[in-house]
Amino acid sequence: MKHLVGKKLLKKVEFMNDKVEVRKLSVSEVLEIQELVKAAAKSKNEESSLSLLRDIIRMSVVGADEISDDDFQTFPLAELNELSEKILAFSGMGAPAAGN
């Protein structure tokens, strides 16, 4: 099993009528996201929810770490929410997303 340490699992998912490659989050990344979710839930600031979406997507989507906060503002919110749900489901958090 030692040879599997650090192995990256990838999956292509639909995003805005195209495909993006998503990396399954590690245990430490899932724990980090859980902490971010707790912090966002305590905050009444709408920006904290958008920040959480950006963090989840940047952690998992290949190449998303190159997208600026301003670039994220150009995506439809519903599409970002759907993508983050697919990421979380693929990583074992929450219910599996439909069609995946």
pLDDT in tens, 56-67: 999 999 999 999
Domain assignment present for residue 43? The answer is: yes
* 96: Cα within 13 Å, side-chain hemisphere: 3
For 90, the domain range is 37-94
What is the band of 47 on the pLDDT scale with cuts at 50, 70, 90?
confident
Domain assignment present for residue 71? The answer is: yes
Domain assignment present for residue 22? The answer is: no
Quote the percentage of the chain above a pLDDT of 70. 93
Domain assignment present for residue 41? The answer is: yes
Domain assignment present for residue 60? The answer is: yes
Q: Strand 18-23 relative to strand 10-15: parallel, antiparallel, unpaired?
A: antiparallel
What is the band of 80 on the pLDDT scale with cuts at 50, 70, 90?
very high
Q: What is the pTM for the complete model shown? A: 0.84
The whole-number pLDDT of residue 18 equals 97
Q: How many structural domains is the chain composed of? A: 1
Q: Give the integer Cα–Cα distance in Å for 74 and 38.
A: 26
